[in-house]
A and B are shown apart, each in its own frame.
Chain A
Amino acid sequence: MSGGALTAVIGPIAAVVLVCVMWFRGTGWLLDRVGSGLRPWVFLGPSVVMLVLWLLYPALATVWASVHDADGRGWLGARNYHWVFTDPLARQALCNTVVWAIVVPTTATLIGLFAARITDRLNWGGMARAMMFLPMAISFVGAGVIWKFVYEYRPEDQAQIGLLNALLQVPRPWLMLPGWNTLCLMVVLIWAQAGFATVILSAALRRVPPPVIQAATLDGAGDWARFRRIEVPHISGAISVVWTTLFIVSLKTFDIVFVMTGGQWGTQVLSALVYDLMFRGSADFGRAAAVAVVLMALVVPVMIRTIRIAGQEGR
């Protein structure tokens, strides 16, 4: 890197870190000078302002935009929503998103449960979990590149360079086959997230009190019965946290679809559709907003449940 480029990198970083340090110090100075009633807001203020400006207000503004036309001027009522539920492409994206949000968290949680159970009994189990956890560190774009060499397709008379087609007798263009391609993309997300489920559930399993398990063993419960009747109910809290987290991740999935198929061949999902409506071709913010609101509506039940659980914990 040349000197100029280095300055261009270090300069902004140093500036921000300096501002942070000054602000950290400044807070102490400020706290000594405000009344006790204001003190909590010195701590909370910046966060609250950011949450309001970047999340709360934009969410409401998007709802407003969703009932207006492409320019955000004319009132359209529910017409954008009507479009989401009747346009073939938008409906496809909606269906795919629902499939993603059910299949991915469920499969990844089950794999995680299975992997956690079996690796807990191995002396190299920690190593195995680390290997499964590794894709968490890899970007979805990187995962797209990695899986390209699994799904790559060549006509039958040529040598296959994609692992999947090499293993099968008859090569097929997996990413272009409707139905199969969505499955292929979901496999990538499951691959990326199952390690998270494994690590969390494995830790939860280790917290099941040994006396409970010993009692079950004395009562003659086999491995499977012990797992299903004792251990799984014991860690149901952790299972639900894992499933919920993965559910939200699946709904938001954008990168995998965006880089691997670009939403073509029937693989579109809502989050990538929002992007397309905003930035590709003729931008239609009204429709994009309606799609985003539908996406939000899918999250609301889970959100309410999480808030309720968090509320119980706080008490």
Chain B
Amino acid sequence: MIRRGAVHGAALILVLIWTVPVLGLVITSFRDRAQILETGWWQIAAENRAVRAMRLDPGRGDLLVPGERLIGWGIAARAPAAFPPGAVADLPRGQLTVDAQGHYRLDVPGPPTRVFVTVASRPQLTLANYRQVLGDPGVWAALGHTLVVTIPAVVLPVLLAAFAAYALVFLPVPGRAVLIAVIVGLLAVPLQLTLIPVLRIYTALGIGHSYIGIWLAHTAFGLPVAIWLLRNAMQAVPHASIAAARIDGAAEFTIFRRIALPLSLPAIAALSIFQFLWVWNDLLLATVFLGSTPDRQVLTGLLRDLLGSHGGAWQVLTASAVVSIIVPVVVFFGLQRALIRGLMAGTAED
């Protein structure tokens, strides 16, 4: 059926548009610097051409390194492939012969003779970029800083929001409607609006450019979404079971810990993944509240610096990007079901 084919085709095109750029990054990260700068990543299978100038001593020898194919050779820079493999060149004081395998014989006495060789080589994928990146203590330090920022900045807001959501759903809070309206309103506040005063408070307290500062910032900025998601989840907890526990004389904290928390675990899991992705991938708060000095720089900051150094170390840039992306992608794919289930709970209450 044509319609069915069109649906398959359209879906395939969408998936290609969405994955090809990522594929480009991954492939580029396995190419060496010269290849990255000379050909596009999609030409990974195409041969690279290169011209080399060499000085040959009289006698026999080899012009090629393993993996290369001889296209031609010459004795002038203007014509580096003037002679095909196997040809004999007459020089003023003798002869030069080069065969297809790159073996040469030079019968010219005296000082070395200049020769130009044009070669093609199959591009080799290399792990050198990763060896360089993973051998760099700076990258490990950035990974460590990212971890130090991320873990508390996920645990804290989830814990706080669970407490707050419980109170908003199950306890008699005076002015509950206003409180919820304020929290929903804060969902939309751009962080930029708050940066300056928060930074001033931090400077006054002496916690500007410290982990405590960024933990608290991520916690506070994550709270509106977190409270909102968990409030929706806890509304689905059967009120009857809470009421029954109260009648049995259970303490409020026991009800929270034994009934409300376990029943909203899917939402808590989704929220934790979300907050994890957001904190791990954040650049703005890390730049403002942690700074970008090497002793505190996080992975996104490191990438930003590499991206800023123009045309410089692209092989390092791509490998570092893959390293920084791999953790959230693995977390994401591993926990995708939980994430989507939690998203549904938070956004589709109609």
Chain B, residues 253-268, CB within 8 Å of chain A (1/0): the string is: 1101100000000000
B286: shortest Cβ distance to chain A, in Å?
Answer: 10
Given A17-B152, A159-B40, A237-B350 in contact, is the A56-B186 Cβ separation under 8 Å?
Answer: yes
With A43-B167, A43-B171, A275-B284 already in contact, the answer to whether A163 and B20 are too (CB < 8 A) is yes
> A115 to chain B: which residues have CB within 8 Å?
11, 14
Cα–Cα, bound, A275→B167 (Å): 37
B7 close to A9 (CB less than 8 A) = no
Q: Most B CB atoms within 10 A — which of A61, A139, A237, A270?
A: A139
Least distance between A108 CB and chain B CB atoms (Å): 12
Contact for A27 among B161, B163, B221, B304, CB less than 8 A: B163
A176 within 8 A of B: no
Residue pair B25, A122 in contact (C-beta under 8 Å): no
State the CA gap A241–B345 with chains docked (Å).
Answer: 13
Query: B223 contacts A310, CB within 8 Å?
Result: no
CB contacts under 8 Å to B, within A253-271, are 254-255, 258-259, 270-271
Question: With A and B bound together, what is the CA distance between A79 and B215 in angstroms?
Answer: 36
In angstroms, Cα B145 to Cα A8, docked, is 9
For residue B116, CB closer than 8 A to chain A, the reply is no
Judged by a CB distance under 8 angstroms, whether A155 is at the interface is: no
Is A12 in the interface zone, CB < 8 Å from B?
yes
Count of A interface residues, CB-CB < 8 Å:
115
Q: With the chains together, A196 CA to B339 CA distance in Å?
A: 11
Within 8 Å by CB of B8, from A56, A122, A136, A159, lies: A122
Beta-carbon contact of A55 and B189 below 8 Å:
yes
The contact of B197 among A27, A61, A146, A196, by CB within 8 Å, is: A61
A288 to chain B, nearest CB (A): 6
If over half of A's interface residues share one DSSP class (helix, strand or loop), that class is named, otherwise mixed; here it is helix
> How many Å from the CB of A230 to the closest CB on chain B?
16
Q: With an 8 A cutoff between CB atoms, is A78 at the interface? A: no
26 pairs from A and B in contact (CB 8 Å cutoff): A5-B141, A8-B148, A27-B163, A43-B167, A43-B171, A47-B161, A48-B179, A51-B223, A54-B194, A55-B221, A62-B197, A121-B7, A131-B18, A137-B331, A137-B332, A139-B280, A140-B281, A145-B321, A159-B38, A160-B40, A161-B40, A163-B24, A200-B348, A245-B347, A278-B196, A306-B187
Interface positions of A (Cβ within 8 A of B): 1, 5, 8-9, 12-13, 16-17, 20, 23-24, 27-28, 31-32, 39-41, 43-44, 46-48, 50-51, 53-59, 61-62, 65, 111, 114-115, 118-119, 121-122, 124-125, 128, 130-142, 144-150, 159-163, 166, 191, 194-196, 199-200, 203-204, 207, 237-238, 241-242, 245, 248, 251-252, 254-255, 258-259, 270-271, 274-275, 278-279, 285, 288-289, 291-293, 295-296, 299, 302-303, 306-307, 310-311, 313-314
